[in-house]
Each structure stands twice: as structure tokens, then as C-alpha cells.
Structure 1
Amino acid sequence: MRTGTPVTVLGLGLMGSALAGAFLRAGHPTTVWNRTTAKADDLVAGGATLAESPADAIAAAPLVVVCVSDYDAVADVLKGPLHGRVVVNLTSGTPSRARALAEEVTRRGGDYLGGGIMAVPEAVGTADAVIAYSGPRSLYDAHGSTLGKLGTGLHLGDDPGLSATHEMGTLILMWGMLDGFLNGAAILGAAGVSATAYLPIARTAIDTVAGWLPGYARQVDDGVYPPDDGTVDTHLAAMAHVIEESETLGINTELPRLVKALAERAATEGHAASGYPALVEQFRKP
């Protein structure tokens, strides 16, 4: 018997299927829809109901979770009236489009929560999956127990675009870490060291940098950049070494040159003796 709040999931890619599966395992009557119906086979075998159309799926439950490719696809599946429906949009997109969608959902009689999933599909349904939501706090509180079946929920504020804004910041952070690791693996690989052998040192470096973030965050908020772990000039000297060695090894130097160019601008603008967080001023510019 499924006695939880009925839910609908629109979109059954890897993440959408994981969301629907988590609701099913938690005992929620779950209606699903996907343009390619075969993607619903395993969920239907597990107890989900396959709707013939997005409109039928929306009509089947008061809580409608959308996880499709982009906001154009969201617009395609959310056609028709939305009276009495809470739309939880977990599709990636820009904050401005999230706000516009929230206004459209409200105009058509529904309520809107934006969301960003900070997890891989395999983690959905566990506490390791963090899902950030934005929109009216009262709406989040009313449905928090149901949404909690997907993972650890985090409410960011009433602005429906905030979850998308945080997603943008998280994505650039992720790519920065991954590109840094891959560039480092290329340097080590050219010297005959495998990426696997490099991994323990890389993990130590990531943990060390993570420990700096609380202090960096305070400096960014205060706009004061003391050289706690070295000046920008000190970092510039190290950056030059990385570029020189990359050239010697015959590997790509684009990433370290970009990093050095940003630091050089900071130094030229009076931050040569400042701490590294002063580079935030470069990222704030158009």
C-alpha cells in the first residue's frame, strides 16, 4: 500500500528516473511521464503509473516534480491549467528563466519551487543527495517531508531564482576543481606518474584548500584581503614555474596562463601584497 502524498515526475532521464524511484521506495503513489515511454518500464514494474500525456500526469497529483533537459522542455510539458498544483522544477537553467517560470506558474493557478540537485543519480533517496530549493518558505515547509524522500533538503530563500544562482556558482567551482586535477594529472603524466599515483597528493591539496574557504569567504564579504597564506606576488612566482614546466614537458599551458593573467591584473590594480582572495575583484568585473 502506498499511503504517502501522490506525486508526479515529468522527465525520466537518469536523474528523473532516480527521483521517481526514490518516491516509490518511500511509499508515495507516483505517476510518471516521459516522451519516450520505454524509459518508464522499470518504474511501472515497480508500481508507478504511466500517464499518456503531461496534462494527465499533472492532473494525477498535487505535487509535480519536473526534471527535463532545459527550460524550453519545461514549457512544453507544463502546458494547460495548474490550479492547485505545486510545481517543483529541478531542471537546470538560469535564475532569470526560473523567476519567469515562477510567475507563469502562479499566473496559471499553481505554486512554484525551484531546485538544484547537488548529487549523482545513484545518491538520490539518501542523505548524501543535497537538493537546494528556493521559493516561498511556507511552500517548502508544507512539502518538506515529501521532498525529503529525495535527499537532504536545503531552503535558500524566497527568491525562486536563488537555487539556479547557487547552481551556477557550484558548477564553476566543480569545473575549476576538475580542470585543476586534470591539468595536474597531465603534468604528472608527462613525467611518468599515473593519475592514480597522483591522487593521494591531489586529495590532500583539495582538503587543504577547503580548509581555507571560511577565511576566504570572510575576506570576500569584508572586501579586505590580508596575505594569510601568501601574497598575490608570491602566487605569481609559482604560476610562472607551472607555465615553465608545462612548456618543458610539452603540454597545454592555457589554464595556468589564464590563472596567471588574472593574478597579474590583480597585482597591477594594487593587490600585489594582498592575499589571494583579492582576485574576486577580477571575477566581479564585466
Structure 2
Amino acid sequence: MFILAFMVLVTGGSLLLFAVRGHRVRSRVNNALWSRESLLLGNNVLLMAAMLVVLLGTLLPLVHKQLGLGSISVGEPFFNTMFTWLMVPFALLLGVGPLVRWGRDRPRNIRTLLLTALVSTLVLSVLLPWLLEDKIIAMTAVGMAMACWIAVLAVAEAVQRVSRGTKTSLSYWGMVAAHLGLAVTITGIAFSQNYSVERDVRMRAGDSVTIHDYRFTFREVRDITGPNYRGGVALIGVTRHGEPEAVLHAEKRLYNTSRMVMTEAAIDGGLTRDLYAALGEELDNGAWAVRLYYKPFV
């Protein structure tokens, strides 16, 4: 109830102030539909819609419960679906925006560049998942299309400016870096969401499990003693195509004062993937419950 009251106070108060003072804020502009201002406005509308999706998904269960209608949950599928189809037009406008002039422009002025970027995007969105993960998933291709569209247009426009000798400010390069950063973020989300693997397995010394070309071998569990805890650490060797890749040290700690048992996951990070191992409960005959993760492009 406190959260709902707080949201009503903050949001309602700001809307009330806008309603009282809004008539004093006037601006007479005449921007064409094909202009940078219009594209910025479109992206702002899409970002507001994304914000409302988060707000609705967060507050709806609280409102539903306060009205005595029972408990409901808004889960990951709702947010993933809504965000994906809001971000597709967002990425489309974001890539085109910097190419369009302020006030008024004509699409034919950048038609060649857009067609080149479109062809490059379609090719890369299919080729990259196939090369990096050996299989193509539809939603990964959609994510890669968004990322490639933004990155290709940002780089192409920067190259054109440099080749023409156009003077560019630091703020422009900051915009290019931000667009490329968003493209990298979308790439990570697309790959991690669709190609991540999680396995809960029972392992004892000498057992091996293969996950996406990585072979996890459970070597042993050693006793460890820290400054305020004691426990065990599992040594898990990782190889890829027979070559050593990493040794994961997954710990299970019992803290002396609080008597709490905590799991310290082992992580081996890389540019294109992260590997995780978490030690669970000890089972019979020297076996342990182990959780293994493969996370690409996190």
C-alpha cells in the first residue's frame, strides 16, 4: 500500500503541476514528418511506452491484490514480448535519426545509404548467429538485425563525415559511441537470452558434462577454512575441443557466527561467453549437486 501511495503522490503531483502550468508552455514549430525532430519525438514516445510497460507490470499485481481480487504475477514472458516489439521500431528510428536534417529533409537524400545498410543488416543478422553459435534462432536474428542496423548506420555516417572533412564535435563522437554501445547491449541480450544453457547435474570425482563444446570435469572437493568461515571448494576443470580452458573453484561456506550456509559461484569470464559453476548439496556416495551455466555475450 505504501508503494501505491508513494507512486500516486509523486506521479499525481507532477501531473497536477503540469496541468496547472502547462498552458503557459507554448512553442510554435513547423517540423516536417521526415525530420530529425519527428524521429526524436517518435523515439521518445516509444521510450515512454516502454516505461509504462514496466510500470504496469510492476504495479498491476499490487493493485490487483489491494482490490481484493487475489494475487497475480506478471512474469518474464510479458516483459520480453512487449519490450521486443517496442524496441524494433525504436532501433529503426534510432539508426536513421542522425542521418536526417533538422526541420525538413527528403528520404531520397539518404536512400542509397539506407538500402546498403538494410542489405548489410539482413546478411549480418543471419550470418553472425550461425558463425558464433552454429544455429539460428528467430528472436536472435531479430535482435541482431536491430543491433546491426544501429551499428552499420552509425559507422557509415561517421565515415562519410570524416571522408568529406566535415568538422565534428566531441558530442557527435559521444553520440556515435552511445549508439554503438546500445548495439553491443542488444547483441548481448539477444545471444544470452536465446543461447544460454543451465544444467543441474549430479557429479562425483571424475564425472564430466558437456555443454556447448565445453566439457566440465568434476575433479575433487577440498576442505577450506577462512577468517570467519569453513567449508568446501569444488575444483571443476573446463576444456574445449580437448584444450584446457579454465579451472572453476565453486565454494560452499558455513559462517561461524551466523551459522548460515552460502554458495560462492565460480565464474570464468570471456569476451564471447561466461562460464558459471555453483556447488549445491552433498549427496550420497561422495556425489554433489552442481549447477552449470553457459552464458554467451554477457
Q: Same fold (TM over 0.5)?
A: no
* TM-score scaled by length of structure 2: 0.27
Larger Rg: 2
Normalising by structure 1, what TM-score? 0.28
